[in-house]
Structure 1
Amino acid sequence: MEKKRILIISRSFYPENSPRSLRTTELVKEFARQEHEVTLLTVRNDEYHNAFEEEFGVTIKDIGQLKLPNINLNGSSGAKRLFKRGIRRGLLQLFEYPDIELMYRIPKVLKNEANYDLLISIAVPHPIHWGVAWAWRKVDPIAETWIADCGDPYYGLENDSFKKLFYFAWIEKWFCQKVDYITIPFEGGRSAYFNEFQEKIRVIPQGLSFPDRHNTNHTENGVITFAYFGNIDSYRHYAVPFLKKLNSIEKEFKFIVYTRNKNLFKGCLDQQTLDKCEIHDYVDRDTLLNSLAGIDFLVHFPYQEGTQKSLKLVDYNFLQKPILEYRNDEISDNSLREFLEYNFEQKKAFEDYRKYKIENICNRFLELIKEDRQSSIRLNNMKLIQ
């Protein structure tokens, strides 16, 4: 395999525990394992990143701590909290505050970067892409091929209560004109992007490394045990009715949760139901998968629209546990009652998790260098003919 010089730009990276951090970390590790020359631009943390560089043979450079402060709601209540929430939402809507700072920060750190075969910018936040676009030049570009990797869409995002203001469409189109490829995690997200850039879109799902297979058999021990992990705020539309439904269930059960928003669960569940729950903070992925090896089923709340897909489904499928997809309708309520009686006939169909193996995902990114090179040759040949 021909060795490549690869530059990755991401605000989220190990040891942060988030989907975008996982995306970045897995790519960096696997590209390094394949012996490519990997440079990462991120918010550097010497405590963790010095050892990471030494272990994986990569170079980690610092974007620098962002200076624009977050508007923190912790410790606020009543009218003060409402006022701060209004200010935070207003600044976000008007200026993409505070992440807009990345649009100005990225060009500065790219000044001394050149001669890469591949540049991958990873969002969210999307101002990372905008910053690369600001620094990008057709003559003497930073890399032969630039790929903008998008988790959730930006202007076409459907699970936010507030639509982006019209002028952000101009920014997204400006950046899309410059980038070579836009990668999205699944085909359903394509419709969230502008029609004129559809030919640049490639579907490359999340890449993961998978631990050794654990025992996946459930045990009917008299107490049905089910679990949910990950982001909950994007799924309130189905999660809140589900949690309130649990309050009416007299049967004994255990509900295990790993979340950053414990308050949502505590606000929806009465004390009797809370006594049946184990609500934990996030843990590292290997620990999470190991801890859920003995449960009976998993709970999934889908997006209301079809342009996004939950990353947690990859690990749900790896665990090979029956999946209850809850949509707050009569069918879902019937399925819940059946699941609680160890009847999993209405479980969500499994996908083959192996297509998400990180080595396959990295190879798909590398193939875009060849595709871009071939497109350039064809374009140059057409110019010569004309």
Structure 2
Amino acid sequence: MNKKKILIVTYGFYPEISPRSFRATELAKEFVRQGHEVTVVAPAKVGLEKFLSEYAVDFIDIGEVTWKVPVLRSNSSIAQLFNRVMVRLSSLWFEYPLIQLKGKVSKALKKLKGFDLLISVAVPYPIHWGVSSVWNKKGDGNPAKTWVADCGDPYMGQENDTFSPPFYFAWLEKSFCRKADYLSLPTENSYIGYYPEFHNKIVVIPQGFKFEEYRINETKRNENKLIFGYGGMFIPGRRDPREFLEFLVSLENEFDFEFHVYTSSPQYVESFAQRSKRIKLFPVIDRLELMDRFSTMDFLVNFTNVGKAQTPSKLIDYAILGKPIINIETGNLNNELVLEFLTKNYSNSIVIPNPEQYRIENVCSQFLSLTD
């Protein structure tokens, strides 16, 4: 095997629970397993020591974001409203405070040389912008021979936020797209979120996981009670659970079921969980522990995104578990489909094609092929 020097630049990394953290962490683990020399540039999170004791990764800590949005120190309703507006507008208009990552990444990369492959992982996109600020298209003095900008959700072409980024961020978007050798996207449909002039740089490399790490829980439970679950965040008006939850609550006396929700946005579920014992609300937990719990359930729930440019990575986890999956579309709830699943009729379950493509071994091979 030809040993490579690989540099991964990311904001999310172990033990953070997020799709982009999973992306960077799983890549680092598998590259090390394959015998490559791996360096990760990221903010160090509490608990990282456990990972570094198991995997021979050279970790460069760029520190957490320290810039703060100016807010009012008051609990009044006016102050709280002002603070929410300030946080939202600072992020939307200036990508603040995450724009600080651009300088942090740039500073770290100026000291690094001699890598075969650099993979920068976004979101947030200031990670790509930081790499772009030190990258020379002529190749002189770059940290690596090949740069792959790995993109999750699109930036300028996003479809699932309430507001689109201001027009002036197009300059930063186009700048990193021009300089990167490749833009890696998780699904084939994601390309529509990027400027056509860069479509020739796009390669599709899905999210990847180590299948053998998944545990199938064989614990016996009450087979008469239907249990199904969802894990992930919600977006009001986009990936919104309220219509579905309202319908479930209306059926609580007709069916013996429990819907288990694991989310970092509990505000969209709390009122329903208070109204009905059928709705069980839980905080976010470790991904493998969540999959262990999901493996005991009858089926799993996916809330679809708006448009086709963004695909939930949780579908990969669901596919590996081999559980039936119900698709819930915000604003267009299919009541008959929900009733089918509640009666254990899974004939209209989502089918995830070719699950083998999500093996991390195959995903890493795709990245390595870009260095040939």
Map Cα deviations across residues 302-350 of structure 1 (whole Å, 9 max, x no partner): 1120111000000111121211112257772101112111222222223
The answer (yes or no) to whether the contact 1:227–1:257 under 8 Å persists in 2 is yes
The answer (yes or no) to whether the contact 1:73–1:85 under 8 Å persists in 2 is no
Q: 367, 370, 373: which one pairs with 2:369?
A: 367
Highest CA radius of gyration, 1 or 2?
1
The answer (yes or no) to whether the contact 2:106–2:134 under 8 Å persists in 1 is yes
Residues 73, 224 of structure 1: alpha-carbon distance in 2 compared, 3 angstrom cutoff: farther
Residues 330, 156 of structure 1: alpha-carbon distance in 2 compared, 3 angstrom cutoff: closer
**Which amino acid is the alignment partner of residue 239 of structure 1?**
P
> Over the residues paired in the alignment, what is the CA RMSD in angstroms?
2.3
Residues 72, 44 of structure 1: alpha-carbon distance in 2 compared, 3 angstrom cutoff: farther
Partners of 1:155 and 1:32 lie apart in 2 by: 34
Q: 324, 327, 331: which one pairs with 1:325?
A: 327
Q: Higher mean Cα deviation, 337-346 or 152-161?
A: 337-346
How many residues of Structure 1 are paired with residues of Structure 2 in the alignment? Answer: 367
Structure 1 residues 216-295: aligned runs within 5 Å? 221-233=223-235, 236-249=238-251, 250-251=253-254, 252-267=256-271, 269=272, 271-273=274-276, 275-295=277-297
The answer (yes or no) to whether the contact 1:5–1:116 under 8 Å persists in 2 is yes
The answer (yes or no) to whether the contact 1:3–1:37 under 8 Å persists in 2 is yes
Helix, strand or coil for the counterpart of 1:309?
A: coil
Residues 74, 176 of structure 1: alpha-carbon distance in 2 compared, 3 angstrom cutoff: farther
Helix, strand or coil for the counterpart of 1:247?
A: helix
1:72 CA displacement: 7.8
1:119 CA displacement: 0.6
Residue 154 (structure 2) pairs with residue 131 (structure 1): no
Residue 198 (structure 2) pairs with residue 197 (structure 1): yes
Helix, strand or coil for the counterpart of 1:81?
A: helix
**Which amino acid is the alignment partner of residue 20 of structure 1?**
R
1:204 CA displacement: 0.4
Partners of 1:213 and 1:8 lie apart in 2 by: 28
Partners of 2:286 and 2:345 lie apart in 1 by: 31
**Which amino acid is the alignment partner of residue 129 of structure 1?**
H
TM-score, normalization by structure 1: 0.89
More helix by share: 1
**Which amino acid is the alignment partner of residue 260 of structure 1?**
S
1:215 CA displacement: 6.2
Partners of 2:52 and 2:186 lie apart in 1 by: 27
Partners of 2:368 and 2:308 lie apart in 1 by: 28
1:2 aligns to what? 2
Partners of 2:74 and 2:341 lie apart in 1 by: 40
1:373 aligns to what? none
TM-score, normalization by structure 2: 0.92
Structure 1 residues 311-322: aligned runs within 5 Å? 311-322=313-324
1:40 CA displacement: 0.6
Helix, strand or coil for the counterpart of 1:369?
A: coil
Helix, strand or coil for the counterpart of 2:86?
A: helix
Please, which runs of 5 or more residues in structure 2 have no aligned partner? none
